[in-house]
Structures are given as structure tokens and as C-alpha cells.
Amino acid sequence: DGGITQSPKYLFRKEGQNVTLSCEQNLNHDAMYWYRQDPGQGLRLIYYSQIVNDFQKGDIAEGYSVSREKKESFPLTVTSAQKNPTAFYLCASSSNTGQSRETQYFGPGTRLLVL
Amino acid sequence: GDSVTQMEGPVTLSEEAFLTINCTYTATGYPSLFWYVQYPGEGLQLLLKATKADDKGSNKGFEATYRKETTSFHLEKGSVQVSDSAVYFCALRGTQGGSEKLVFGKGMKLTVNP
């Protein structure tokens, strides 16, 4: 089955630690996105990538970093510079062509908690 | 910049009640409009979409019509079920630079009681 997988489902971060969230898709989509969801605030865009080896900052990129070395993978690193990392993180992807090119498809999410 | 304003709730309804969730937007040009649904502990799923004025999106008994004159995309369902309990997000995809991004409303939590 085609889809988007995120791992782990829950992640715990210690003070001063960098952690990496995984996002993999087998939909052959060119574009991938990372969102952060906080209660009552909807979704906010962290980073996005339209093609391999290229990515752009979203609205709240500070304290986060990404890479896009392969089409199917878009890992997100939450660095120690992110002072309030507790949130639900959602990865999404979309095609750049065809009728469905405007639709983003989401993974199941990773909940990050600070110890 | 582009923005979406939607009813925030939470809202509690009885089974078989009529549902309306209001959504209005601000955007330049003709954005595409979406409703996404999020069930507890899960990611978002596309519920329906409309890409031009007067288009009606529909799915699973839900409907929404793209109204350019009122810049609205209200979600409706004639008879809700317990299984419709979820958080509903209205979103738009703009037509200007950086339009790859989706802009979301804050979401509305719906609980349907038997």
C-alpha cells in the first residue's frame, strides 16, 4: 500500500539533546512538508521541499533542520535551540503534477515530549 | 498574506443532527480550498476540496461550496454520526509566490453523542 510513514510514534527529548523524526513516503511524490501542531493553534509549516537536495524555510523554522537526500525521505531534526519542542509533528507530501498536485497527504504523526 | 478563519468550537451534537462549520478566507486571486479531518491520535485526512468558484466538494455525506462572493467554504452534513467525532480543519492553497504551502484554520473539535 502506498502511503506516508512517520517514526517513532512517541519521542522523548532530554534537555540539550538533538532528536530526529523520520518521514518516508512511497507515493513517488516530489514535494514533502513538515508541520507542527499545538493545541488550539492549527498547523504551522516548519520546512518544505519541492525537489531532492532543495528545501525552504516555512513559518517557524527556527530551531529545526531538515535534509532531502532522497526523494522518498525528509527527516526533521529538532535541535537544542528549539526551546519549546513539545508538540505533535506531521509530515506530508504532494505531487507536483497531475490532477492531485494540490492535495497534500499526511502521515500519522510523531508526538515529541520533553523530559 | 493568506489566512483562514473557521469556527473553533468545541461543538457537541447529538447523532443525526445537522452540522455546519463556517470557514472564510482571505487570499489574492483564486485559491484552492480544502477540508481536512483528524481523528484522535492520527494525522490529517483529506475530506473534500474545491479548486474554483462555485465548485462543490463532497465526500462521506459532507459538502462544501466554494463561494467567491462571500470568500467562504462552509462545511455541512445533514445527519452526523458518532464516527464523525474528530477535529475539522479548513485550509487554502494560494496562487501567489510560495503557493505550495497550505494555510490552515485553527481547527474545530466535533463530538457526536449517541
Q: Is the pLDDT of residue A99 over 80?
A: no
- Shortest distance between the Cα of B24 and any Cα of chain A, in A, equals 15
Cβ–Cβ gap B44/A50 under 8 Å: no
C-beta pairs of A78-86 under 8 Å, 24+ apart in sequence: A78/A13, A78/A18, A78/A19, A78/A20, A78/A21, A78/A112, A79/A18, A80/A15, A80/A16, A80/A17, A80/A18, A85/A13, A85/A112, A85/A114, A86/A112, A86/A113, A86/A114
* Closest residue, chain A, to B100 (C-alpha): A102
**What average pLDDT does the segment B36-55 reach?**
93
pLDDT tens-place string over residues B77-93: 999 999 999 999 999 98
| pLDDT of residue A90 exceeding 70 | yes
Q: Considering CB atoms only, which of A6, A102, A108 is closest to B93?
A: A102
